[in-house]
Amino acid sequence: MKLLRLIVVISILLLSPRISRGDPPEDLKKLWADGKYEEVLPLLGEYREAPGGKTMQIDYMIATCLCRLPGRAADAANYFDWVLKKYVLDEPTRQRIESDAAACAGQLGIGSLLVLPRPAVNGQIVPGVAGKGFYYPDPGGKFFVRPTRVNRVIDPALLRQRMKDLSATTTPAALTQLTQAIVKKAAPAFAGPHFVVVAYAGQPQSMLVDVSNKLEAALTFFDRRYGLSAPDSRITVYLASSREDIAELANKIHGLTLAPDTIGYSLTNDQSIAAMAAGGFTSTLYHELTHLLLRRQLGDAPPWLDEGLAALYETVEEGKDPVQGGRTLRGVDNWRYDVLHTSPGLIPSFEKLIHMDWRAFQNADENYEGSRQTVNAATARYLMLFLQDRRLPDVVRAMIAQHRPAGPDDGAIIASTRGSNESIESFGHEFDQWLRKELRLRSEAEAKETEGQRQDYLPMDHLPRVDANGSNAPPQVQQR
């Protein structure tokens, strides 16, 4: 089915690789490595609560500290379980942490709890794991993830220095000199209050200013609506003109080998975004900015929230706040409608979606076969569309405040924003029914396509379809 393959390939463009904050501070690592677990544990907890502190490495260090303190075995088990469920892990790292958890439980002894996992890649993945990239069809019609890999480790101190230098630069000449040193080619740049926009492909200065202004307005919107505040350092935005540009850029400045045909990614290590934007502003930037801001507050965000919220803003209507002024962004229906429409049997229930860990969300048990992952991501976006006029800001803020090891589960957190008269079960049922009604899912026979011809799909009742070209192609494909 040509359309299905097109949709699946496009969908993975939106599931872009991200990198975590990086190594914990050296002083905390030294205390931990020296066995001063009781001393370092409260410091790790304090670091964890600061922006950017919720990482796989920090939670692993907390788990191993708790393991060695008298009477804290149950707390250690909670943190090990958290690490295994809340972060994307490659198989060797998963096996290592499972072994450590078993050792902590007294099954193997604790001699193996010595090595800190390497800095995370692709969300919270260590090098070499299959992550978010493209699906490629095999002759049987299946799609599989092509992983992003680290081809060389970039010193975290270098990344921190980049952020510091870019934030301190004040003159155009100094900015140009600095950005050219980073990307190793002539690349005009523009610095705004919170963003440095770099024309990796030589885009005109007017475009750099426009991108900066739109992202500044979006940053204000995200802060006001969700409490997702700007980082202390400027966010660097690299604008490429092709997939080849992005691949070259990722290799050059971040030591990454991207999945083929990636068109955008974001990294919290150096607060950067890269996107294919040859002819003007692209909503890829909204998508990646959402990831960057949410991960700063909630590095252990569950997939339904992390992918759903970012995907919500991949296709938007822009408006003006009638009370406070400033730009507003409203997610509208997009091509993910077609993903769900063509795969109704794969749509997870609300209950199943919000309890998926990253391994289930990415369908790791089936070798990352992509059909379920695509539908999971589409369902997460439509949950955000459903919540958009139903206290979505309250849900995001509650997740930031309450999502923690041994805390309430995600369903209870969502329910806490809904009032005492509505159970999470009734809310989930309402969403499941809404989704099926709004998507107007047809029977399998009706959804079949004839060769070279696509059936027209009915639009949703109150969410406008966005198709800038007025065609039947998935809307705004060029922006993702």
Every domain of the chain and the residues it spans: 2-18+153-479, 23-104
Please report, as a single letter, which amino acid is at residue 101. A
Q: What is the mean pLDDT of the chain?
A: 79
Residues 311 and 14: beta-carbon distance below 8 Å: yes
Highest mean pLDDT of the ranges 116-130, 209-223, 248-262, 312-326: 209-223
115 or 298: whose pLDDT is higher? 298
pLDDT over 50 (residue 445): no
Q: What is the pLDDT of residue 256?
A: 87
Q: What is the pLDDT of residue 219?
A: 96
pLDDT classification of 326: cutoffs 50, 70, 90: confident
CATH numeric code, 23-104: 1.25.40
pLDDT over 90 (residue 379): yes
**High-pLDDT (> 70) share of the chain, %:** 77
pLDDT over 70 (residue 13): no
Is 2-18+153-479 assigned to CATH 3.40.30.160? yes
Residues 79 and 89: beta-carbon distance below 8 Å: no
Q: What is the pLDDT of residue 224?
A: 94
pLDDT over 50 (residue 143): yes
Mean pLDDT of 10-27: 51
pLDDT over 50 (residue 216): yes
443 or 255: whose pLDDT is higher? 255
Please state which of the ranges 221-225, 334-338, 468-472 shows the lowest mean pLDDT: 468-472
Q: What is the pLDDT of residue 268?
A: 83
pLDDT over 50 (residue 17): no
Q: What is the pLDDT of residues 391-404, one digit of tens each?
A: 999 999 999 999 99
6 or 66: whose pLDDT is higher? 66
**High-pLDDT (> 90) share of the chain, %:** 48
pLDDT classification of 418: cutoffs 50, 70, 90: confident
Q: What is the pLDDT of residue 90?
A: 78
Q: What is the pLDDT of residue 145?
A: 57
Q: What is the pLDDT of residues 63-108, one digit of tens each?
A: 999 999 999 999 999 999 999 999 988 788 888 899 899 988 875 5
CA–CA separation, 446 vs 430, rounded Å? 25
